[in-house]
Amino acid sequence: IMTVNETGPTEGFSGNLSHPSCNHDLSCWEQTMDKMYTYFYLLLFVPGLFLNTTALWVLCKHFSKKTKAVIFMINLALADLVHVLSLPLRIYYYFTHSWPFGKGICLLCFYLKYLNMYAAIFFLVCISLQRYRFLLKPFTARRWRRRYDLLISVAVWVFVAVGCLPFILMRSSESGNTNESLPHHSSTPANCFKDLPTRKISVPLAVSLISMCELFGFLLPLVCISYCSIRIAWSLNHSQPQDRSEKRRALRMVLSCSALFLLCFAPYHINFVLYLMVSQRYVVRCATVLAVKQFHPISLCLASMSCCLNPLLYYFLNAEFRMHLRRTSSFTNSILSSMESICSERD
């Protein structure tokens, strides 16, 4: 899986677009984006920390029970929490425009962001596939063991961790091996995130990276989640009235995974192809360069938003999760009591 930084995998044009056909100065736009990143990550941090720590605590209390997809939900919450815990460093950098923590920590924050993104994608797929499989093939659910979920989760983490390694390998501190200089900040260890240059890559390698990222990180997950939604909907329409309640709940879960996937991750992956081509100067049409450059940070913010939306998925679509959450403390009970009318309609 090829990943990108705050303004793309091959950051090279800050301020002026630096394409021969473009004379647009994006310095003001980039300053606006720095402020947007600061305030957006601030808004994500507090609710993301509260929601994911609470979700992890409640879900781990279910660990001894064979609750549907609970192990995948635990891993999803863990991936979100890791990303949330890295947000203060991002906030610090975009607020102060300085990085005193070293390049290793900078690259680790890069890595954790995209580790979270692709882990979230694959665990959403796992949740959808398991709900579909258990609903349409109940004998499979009876024979299923929790260790199978654990093995699948380990496989997902290994696959995503290895797949995100090219992101680190793309980073470069050597100005002669990068796309272009950085007029806004010098390429020093005090810079991080969007202000670090990356290596120029060949056309065959760029095509390979785009293909792998889009195929395994977007298209295959999209096909899997869409297939599960269609099959459960078809089964619901052809089922007996007494079987429809469980199938409706399963369909809501899978459709919610689909909506979250499309809202948070589809914009990034659609823009990713064009952004890599623009940043490597394979696309030089000025209007395209400008549109892709300006939309990219928005798509990244949408992707980060999943760390707050995933816990709501557990709450609104899982009556057992709500029941245990209400038992945890009067504080959480008072916060979530206002949601009861919405949830009662869903169940």
**For 31-327, which CATH class?**
mainly alpha
Q: What is the pLDDT of residues 319-346, one digit of tens each?
A: 666 676 666 655 455 555 555 555 455 5
- Residue 139, judged by CB atoms within 10 A of its CB (0-12, 13-18, 19+), counts as exposed
pLDDT in the model for residue 189:
44
pLDDT in the model for residue 317:
63
Q: What is the pLDDT of residues 159-186, one digit of tens each?
A: 999 988 887 777 654 444 444 433 344 4
CA distances from 198 to 108, 177, 271, 277 (A): 16, 8, 19, 14
Lowest mean pLDDT among 29-38, 144-153, 335-344: 335-344
Determine the number of helices (DSSP H) and then strands (DSSP E) in the chain. Answer: 15, 0
pLDDT in the model for residue 30:
74
CA distance 184 to 49: 32
Residue 187 has pLDDT above 80, yes or no: no
Lowest mean pLDDT among 4-13, 71-80, 127-136, 325-334: 4-13
Residue 13 has pLDDT above 50, yes or no: no
Tokens of 313: 């998925």
pLDDT in the model for residue 325:
67
Q: What average pLDDT does this structure show over 286-315?
A: 85
Lowest mean pLDDT among 16-20, 39-43, 265-269: 16-20
pLDDT in the model for residue 287:
79
DSSP 263-289: HHTHHHHHHHHHHHHHHTTS---HHHH
CA distance 321 to 68: 11
Q: DSSP secondary-structure letter at 134?
A: H
CA distance 241 to 237: 10
Are residues 299 and 268 in contact, defined by beta-carbon separation less than 8 angstroms? yes
Q: What is the pLDDT of residues 66-97, one digit of tens each?
A: 556 788 989 999 999 999 999 999 999 888 88
- Identify which of 312, 299, 307 has the alpha carbon closest to the alpha carbon of residue 82: 307
Q: What average pLDDT does this structure show over 305-332?
A: 72
Which band of pLDDT confidence, cut at 50, 70 and 90, is reported for residue 137?
confident
Are residues 235 and 137 in contact, defined by beta-carbon separation less than 8 angstroms? no
The domains of the chain are located at: 31-327
List phi, psi (to 5°) of 38: -60, -55
- Identify which of 37, 46, 29 has the alpha carbon closest to the alpha carbon of residue 6: 37
Q: What is the pLDDT of residues 207-253, one digit of tens each?
A: 888 888 889 989 999 999 989 888 888 877 776 665 667 677 777 87
Q: What average pLDDT does this structure show over 190-209?
A: 74
- Residue 191, judged by CB atoms within 10 A of its CB (0-12, 13-18, 19+), counts as buried
Q: To the nearest whole percent, how much of the chain has pLDDT over 70?
A: 71
If one compares 307 and 245, the residue with the highest pLDDT of the two is 307
pLDDT in the model for residue 202:
75
pLDDT in the model for residue 152:
93
Residue 9 has pLDDT above 80, yes or no: no
